[in-house]
Amino acid sequence: MEQDCAYKTLEARFRQIALYGEVASVLHWDAATMMPPDGASPRGEQLSELRVLRHRAVTAADMADLFSAAEQEDLDPWQRANLREMRRDHRFATALPDDLVAAISDATSACEHMWRDARATSDFAAVSDKLSVVLKLTRESAVAYGEALDLDPYDALLESYAPGVRSADIDPVFNDYAAFLPGFLEEVTARQANNGLPVQPKPVPVAQQQKLVARLAGATGFRFDAGRIDVSAHPFSTGYRGDQRITVSYHEDDPMASVMAVLHECGHAAYEAGLPAAWTRQPVGQALGMVVHESQSLSVEMQASRSPEFLGWLAAQAMDVLGPDPAYEPNNFRRLQQWVQPDFIRVEADEVTYPAHVILRTRLERPLLSGDLPLSDLPGAWNKGMKELLGVDVPDDRRGCLQDIHWYDGAFGYFPTYTLGAMLAAQLAEAAHKAVPEIPQALAKGDFSPLMQWLGNAIHAQGSYLDADGLITQATGHTLDAAAFKRHLHRRYLEG
């Protein structure tokens, strides 16, 4: 037993660190769904105290010695992978000096707060001073991470969101997609125009949308004994084993928005719920970064829920719960849910044009970070990029470079995970359908279980045992590339 001592001590420490994370997730959820306005300031102080606790625990003075001692102990492969993930956490936490962590926290709070007004008034100049502070501090942290991890600064930021992802892998994939898109888009829009515009659904009261949302969440395997669905300004999913919390926003005029959002969040929640129970609260038991996480939400929302099989069933549910509406006539409904339309707003984009939004941001955030693109040139560069990639003229910064919170909140290097996740979802869908051919027939009856079982084994139950390349290869036979995604788009939009 003595020889296990360092490893067991580390497990106990990381259990405690995970508990701080669970508590923080409840506080964040509450802030987005329940908290009255005057609660914002004390909530900020509570969360900052929890961050300090977590940081202090991960960077404790004896951690390095415990890691070295644990390496010498007799560990099984999962314990060894857990130790590797602990070291990863520690490496990130120790990379930044405490005063930089505090400065980033203050600067992003101030910038994010200012951004809300700047976006409302479409006034980029009003927030650019604050953003330039965030950018400067993010640059410092990228350099510090890079030194600690022996990576280029931008790659170090990517690594923090998506272990193993490098810009050298992203560039060819994104350039290829940018080249593929204009021709593909032309074909798709010409084809869908043949049948005119689909009929839009009539407005539906929120209470009825909630009934449909609950039914669909249940179909994906979401358990209300171990979770809730609430309302927030932007949909998200959080929580932990036993208590998964999803939020949706409802718009009477657009009843299918809440439905598709909940299916997306249910994909995230299923991943969290299916993580290996034996490794709860240990680093190896956590989700493997944001690319894999997004692949799970898009497996449910884009791959499964917008498949022709599932859309047939969903149209019948909509008719049943929301009431009769020509928009839910099966053919019209399918055209509605598969409609492709270049537009300004990322979060409203279809899956064909969505990558263009991500490519634009990825192309801009790297020169922003390096300083090659001055902040004052951002709006112009944004609008030029949108014209080149999607052929649209951005009317104002509100619908341009002010639309997303990410940069204003200090999240540089995050955007690529959305599109890599979409590509991984397509690659996983091909492998799943090959292994379990009855998935489409089951979806046609609203039955997600064959799909979720495959994803559960291939992805969810693997936690962070393997690295991303290892996990994706084990699940699909090869590492991540864009081929399956392009095949999927071709099938769905030119053959379907």
Nearest to a second copy of 50, 60 (CB atom): 50
Q: What residues numbered 242-281 form the site for a second copy, per CB under 8 A?
A: 242-243
Smallest gap, in angstroms, from Cβ of residue 39 to a second copy? 3
Closest C-alpha to 293, from 319, 272, 314: 272
Distance CA 242, CA 234 (A): 23
Given candidates 4, 9, 32, 50, which one binds a second copy under the rule CB under 8 A? 50
How many residues bind to a second copy according to rule CB under 8 A?
33
Q: What mask, x for binding a second copy by CB under 8 A, covers residues 182 to 221?
A: ----------------------------------------
Smallest gap, in angstroms, from Cβ of residue 11 to a second copy? 15
Smallest gap, in angstroms, from Cβ of residue 455 to a second copy? 21
Neighbours of 33 (CB within 10 A): 15
Catalytic residue among 85, 112, 159, 265: 265
Smallest gap, in angstroms, from Cβ of residue 239 to a second copy? 8
Nearest to a second copy of 37, 77 (CB atom): 37
Nearest to a second copy of 242, 326 (CB atom): 242
Neighbours of 399 (CB within 10 A): 16
Q: What's the sign of the alpha-carbon dihedral 479, 482, 484, 485?
A: positive
Distance CA 150, CA 166 (A): 12
Smallest gap, in angstroms, from Cβ of residue 44 to a second copy? 11
Nearest to a second copy of 53, 436 (CB atom): 53
DSSP 308-376: HHHHHHHHHHHHHHH---GGGSHHHHHHHHT-----S-GGG--TTTHHHHHHHHHHHHHHHHHTSS-GG
| Length of the chain measured in residues | 496
**Beta-bridge mates of residue 227:** 244
Given candidates 241, 399, 406, 490, which one binds a second copy under the rule CB under 8 A? 241
- Output the six-digit token pair for 300: 């449910």
Smallest gap, in angstroms, from Cβ of residue 243 to a second copy? 3
265 is an active site residue: yes
**Beta-bridge mates of residue 231:** 248
Distance CA 12, CA 85 (A): 15
Residue 378 DSSP SS3: helix
Q: Give ∠ CA 300-305-310 in degrees, rounded to 5.
A: 135
Q: What residues numbered 217-236 form the site for a second copy, per CB under 8 A?
A: 223-228
Distance CA 482, CA 362 (A): 17
Nearest to a second copy of 222, 333 (CB atom): 222
Q: Is 113 in the site for a second copy (CB under 8 A)?
A: no
Stretch touching a second copy by CB under 8 A, among 48-56, 175-183, 259-267, 464-472: 48-56
- Output the six-digit token pair for 44: 């900020």
Nearest to a second copy of 38, 99 (CB atom): 38
Q: What residues numbered 8-47 form the site for a second copy, per CB under 8 A?
A: 16, 19-20, 22-23, 26-27, 30, 34-43, 45-46
295 and 162 Cβ atoms separated by less than 8 Å: no
Binding site for a second copy (CB under 8 A): 16, 19-20, 22-23, 26-27, 30, 34-43, 45-46, 49-50, 53, 223-228, 240-243
Active site residues: 265
